Every structure is written in structure tokens, then in C-alpha cells.
A and B are shown apart, each in its own frame.
Chain A
């Protein structure tokens, strides 16, 4: 089964500090990976996907096949970045997304 692991349940940083949310996946050829974000009491929404190689709200994520990682990074965290972040990948059958356990990012003023 495809696995996604987010080793940190909580990450607390000060405003302006760099942030890195870790995501590791079980090896499987060329995976497709996503980061979803959930702001307080809102719906989960797609933040970015590795295929598009874009930067959204200052966040980037690079797929590292050697380390089987897809860490989410931002050089200068803002208070409005405080949220739950989920790393996800499609299942083998491609008919669902499997999520990591989530990391709560708290950005302190």
C-alpha cells in the first residue's frame, strides 16, 4: 500500500522564520504528490502539486526521489500560514488519495 508519512504533528515557528514541513512517501516509481491545507474551520484545499512545480502563497515543494521526500518549504513564514497541512498521494489503483497524518503549523507573532 502507498504510504505517506508526516513525522511532525506540530511545528511552531516565529513570523519571518523559514519553515519546512516534512513529508516522506513509500517508494513507488514516479509518484504524484500533493500538499493540501486546512485553515481553521475551513475546507481542505489543494495548496500545490509537484507536477505543476509552482509556488503558491510563497510555498514550494520539491520531489526528492532519492530521499523519497516531498517537503513543503517557505522562506519567511507569516501568521496567516497557520493551518493544518496534509501531504497526499494517489493510491495504487489511482482512485483515491492517501493522506499523511497532517502537521499543524503555528506561526507566532
Chain B
């Protein structure tokens, strides 16, 4: 059973398009995150939701909009994609100071 699952695994798209990445966790955790891992492998938090409520937004452009329909899901929608958005995006859920990560979504913007 996959605890945190993201789809799609790979996403290749052109500049200017709008795309979404989905994330679901079956761990019953209240808190979920989106992290971005850039080409230099730096891992940086983007958003955090606690029980469907946004609690952290780390100066991410407003082209990125997270949506949490329920506490088991945290989707990431990106408008007007830019070349610099190319990265691996990791969803994670959080409990007891321990992060459970999804497999990541490799986004390539051409």
C-alpha cells in the first residue's frame, strides 16, 4: 500500500500551459506539504495544509495554487508554466515530526 501517492510521475509540457499534480495520502495525517526539488537538488518547502487549511505559503508565485478538497488530498495547480518551473515536486504528509514523501513528479517545461 502506497502511503503517499502522486500523479503523474512525469509531466512534460510547454511554456504557458496550465497543469495539475495530484497527491493523496492514506495515513490519516492532518498535515500535508508540497516541496520543490530544483536541478541542484535543493529541497524547499512550498506549501503546507493542515486539515484542508493553508498554514504555510513560502513566497511561491501566485501561479501556483494548492487545493485541498479534504485532508487526504493536496493537489497543486500551476498556471502559465515557465521554464524555471522545471523541477521535481514532492508531496508529503507529516506526523510526529516525520515526513512521509510521495515518489515525486518530474515536471519538464519546454
Residues from chain A with Cβ under 8 Å of B99 in the complex:
36, 44, 46, 88, 97
Q: State A76–B101 Cα separation when bound (angstroms).
A: 28
Q: Total interface residues on A, using CB and 8 Å?
A: 23
In the assembled complex, which residues on chain B have CB atoms less than 8 Å from the CB atom of A42? Answer: 103
Interface status of A95 (Cβ within 8 A of chain B): yes
Interface residues on B, range: 20 to 34
> Which chain B residues lie closer than 8 Å to A43 at the CB level?
4, 90, 101-104
Chain A, residue nearest B2 (CB): A43
Are A101 and B103 interface neighbours, CB within 8 A?
Answer: no
Chain A residues positioned under 8 Å from B55 (CB to CB): 95
Q: CB-defined interface of A24-57 with B at 8 Å, one 1/0 digit per residue?
A: 0000000010101000001111100100000000
Q: Output the nearest chain B residue to A89 by Cβ-Cβ distance.
A: B97
By the criterion CB–CB under 8 Å, are A97 and B97 in contact?
yes
B residues near A, CB below 8 A?
Answer: 4, 31, 33, 40-45, 48, 50, 55-56, 90, 92, 94, 97-99, 101-104
| Neighbour of B42 across the interface among A34, A97, A98, A102, CB < 8 A | A102
List the 8 closest A-B pairs by CB distance, nearest first. A44-B101, A99-B43, A43-B101, A43-B103, A102-B41, A90-B97, A97-B99, A84-B41
Q: Do the beta carbons of B42 and A96 come within 8 Å of each other?
A: no
Bound CA–CA A104/B102 (angstroms): 20
Can you sample 30 A-B contacts with CB below 8 Å?
Answer: A32-B97, A34-B97, A36-B99, A43-B103, A43-B104, A44-B43, A44-B92, A44-B99, A44-B101, A45-B101, A46-B99, A49-B97, A49-B98, A84-B41, A86-B43, A88-B99, A95-B31, A95-B48, A95-B50, A95-B55, A95-B56, A95-B94, A97-B94, A97-B97, A98-B45, A99-B44, A101-B41, A101-B42, A102-B41, A102-B42
